[in-house]
Amino acid sequence: MFKKINDFLAGWPMTLVGGIFLAASFILPRIGVPAGENLAWVCVIICGIPLLYLAIWRLIFNKGISRISSALLISMAMIAAVLIGDLFAAGEVAFIMEIGALLEDMTTERAKKGLKNLIALAPAAGRVIRNGEEINVPVEEIVKDDIVRILPGETIPVDGVIISGETSIDQSVMTGESLPVDKSEGDSVFSGTINRFGTIDFKASKVGEDSSLQKLIRMVENAEKKQAPTQRIADKWASWLVPVALLIAVFAYLITGNIVRGVTVMVVFCPCALVLATPTAIMAAIGQATKHGVIIKSGEALEKMGNVDIIAFDKTGTLTFRKLEVTDVIPNGTLTVKELLTIAASAESRSEHPLGKAITEKAIAEGLGLIDISDFKMYAGRGITAVINGVSYTLGNENFILNAGFMIDKKTAAALNRLRSEGKASVIAADPDGVTGIIALSDILRPEAADMVNRLSSMGTRSVLLTGDNKKAAEYFASKAGITEVYADLLPEQKVENIALLAKRGKVCMIGDGVNDAPALKTADVGVAMGVMGSDIAVEAADVALMTDDISRLPYLKWLSDLTVKTIKRAITISMCINFAAVTMSVLGILNPTTGALVHNAGSCFVVLLAALLYDRKYI
């Protein structure tokens, strides 16, 4: 009951009503309506009850010195002002404090939908072979050593090892790899990943809570618990402001014999400017960031980003576009580049494999006409065969070509090794006379990546690459972007481990876009997700989301965070100087509770104005 009343009074509508009555209580007595002063009671009740509730709650439930908070100090000042009959001063300090609390709440609310989306990836049922029969059972009933059958397009329900069949599996949910991974007998498969082509049977090895997807969910949950919000700076300082304020107030009363001076000290000592300094600066910074397509979810993230000195990047979808493109067409013999691309695109025109689709799209984009094919056959995860104008063509990976009886000469082998070192996937084409050429495909590095890394370096921030992709691809893209520290072949839990190791060397920010990045995003001091290209889960797990795919916004985010931290420190210093001057004037009798409240209010407004200037600062 009390909590419902408190929540109702603490909202924006009632707080604004209290402010209107407070303003009326100040104006009316000065235009000949003395009774108007009593209108301040409305503000005292509306804004004072939530303060008293918070102060009492912390006294009862908090531990140690945290029992003493800014709410307690302001509640004491408010009660003292009421006791000496200065209702305006009582309402004013309560109103300013409540506005500060509401502003801070606006900056720290965070959605919690990401975990639900992660859980939704887990299939509800699976197809198992028991006593020679194929039956569908709930995923909870799949036990270790069960034989599970997966058809094309289905999500794998539990971890296991393939015992029959060949396929290509989209493992981006776990590793972030942009290319499907070819799998055959003896290879491991993971829950939550998607079977793209062939039918496979596998023996379940990790089920229930032990499966990879459930571990991923638990890691996000655990990291969420570790991200407790920092205690407000006003409450940290209130642990000594309260006794200091009381001592000075008692001292002023004992020396002068004037209770009004003691109450005035308590009024001007209230840390309202201190309370407003942080949330208003953060609100202004978040507003500016939003104009630049950067969504900052909490003030804590903004402050922490200002202290970050290591930024860890995922590769696929972050430094790259997560889009396969043909990068090299290398004929081997009499064919021209266009002829080789036309033949390969025509042969692949019926393929569902991402590599085949990308080759066909490249030919169409270049205006090359496709040739009709016949006798098309696809070998899942390995390659295809097709007949074009009466000639049989074979296209696929190196093992498929070798197993088909073709020889790979030194020139072709050298080209394949070079392409592998650049992190590219190769499709080899062959006709009855031998290998006719190679078509290489790769994800594409964002053109702004190198400049972005260089700008971060100039700010004293080191860049690191953490990726589930293979080592050669990772090192190739890292060298292009100017990143020298690379960790490759990482599963989600290994990314978390590497973030923890990096954290021993400094404050870490993680940039990612995939579901597999969610635990690392939550574990890092600050997580940044690619909001357009990224998965919903990564965006929800992160503290900051880039709403464009322009990663050149990262240096801007670092600049804004640094500036915000400096502004907050400057505002806090000014607020403390104003408090010191006002306390001195109160002890000397220059200020009374009402004028003290006005000086106090003016100081709060000055701090708010200083913080608000962040909104229009220009990034150079």
Other CB atoms within 10 Å distance of the CB of residue 46: 24
- CB contact at 8 A, 177 and 192: no
Question: Across all residues in the chain, what is the average pLDDT?
Answer: 83
Q: Kindly tell me the burial class for residue 122, based on how many C-beta atoms sit within 10 Å of its own C-beta (0-12, 13-18, 19 or more).
A: middle
Q: Please give the single-letter amino acid code of residue 306.
A: G
Domains 123-156+159-206 and 325-442 in one fold: no
> d(Cα 616, Cα 608) in Å, to the nearest integer?
14
| Six-digit token string for 490 | 């990482």
Q: What is the CATH number of domain 325-442?
A: 3.40.1110.10
**Domain assignments of the chain as residue spans, ordered by start:** 123-156+159-206, 325-442
What are residue 331's DSSP bridge partners?
Answer: 437
Non-local CB neighbours of 361 within 8 Å, separated by 6+ positions: none
- CB contact at 8 A, 544 and 295: yes
Confidence at residue 385, expressed as pLDDT on a 0 to 100 scale: 95
- CB contact at 8 A, 583 and 268: yes
Non-local CB neighbours of 157 within 8 Å, separated by 6+ positions: 122, 123, 125, 126, 139, 142, 148, 191
Confidence at residue 401, expressed as pLDDT on a 0 to 100 scale: 93
Weakly modelled stretches of the chain, pLDDT under 70: 64-66, 69-70, 100, 103-121, 172-179, 215-239, 271-276, 514-516, 531-541, 547-548, 601, 620
- For the four alpha carbons of 546, 549, 555 and 559, in that order, the dihedral sign comes to negative
Q: For strand 383-388 and strand 462-466, is the pairing parallel, antiparallel, or unpaired?
A: unpaired
pTM above 0.85, yes or no: no
* Active site (annotated) includes residue 314: yes
Distance from the Cα of residue 57 to its chain's centroid? 32
- CB contact at 8 A, 530 and 553: no
From 338, 438, 436, 332, select the one nearest 391 (Cα to Cα): 436
Could you give the residue ranges of the DSSP H alpha helices within 436-517?
449-458, 471-481, 492-503
Confidence at residue 103, expressed as pLDDT on a 0 to 100 scale: 67
> d(Cα 309, Cα 307) in Å, to the nearest integer?
6
2.30.110.10, 3.30.930.10, 2.70.150.10, 2.40.160.10: which CATH number matches 123-156+159-206?
2.70.150.10
Active-site choice (314, 443, 513, 549): 314
Confidence at residue 218, expressed as pLDDT on a 0 to 100 scale: 64
| Six-digit token string for 522 | 């939550």
Non-local CB neighbours of 365 within 8 Å, separated by 6+ positions: none
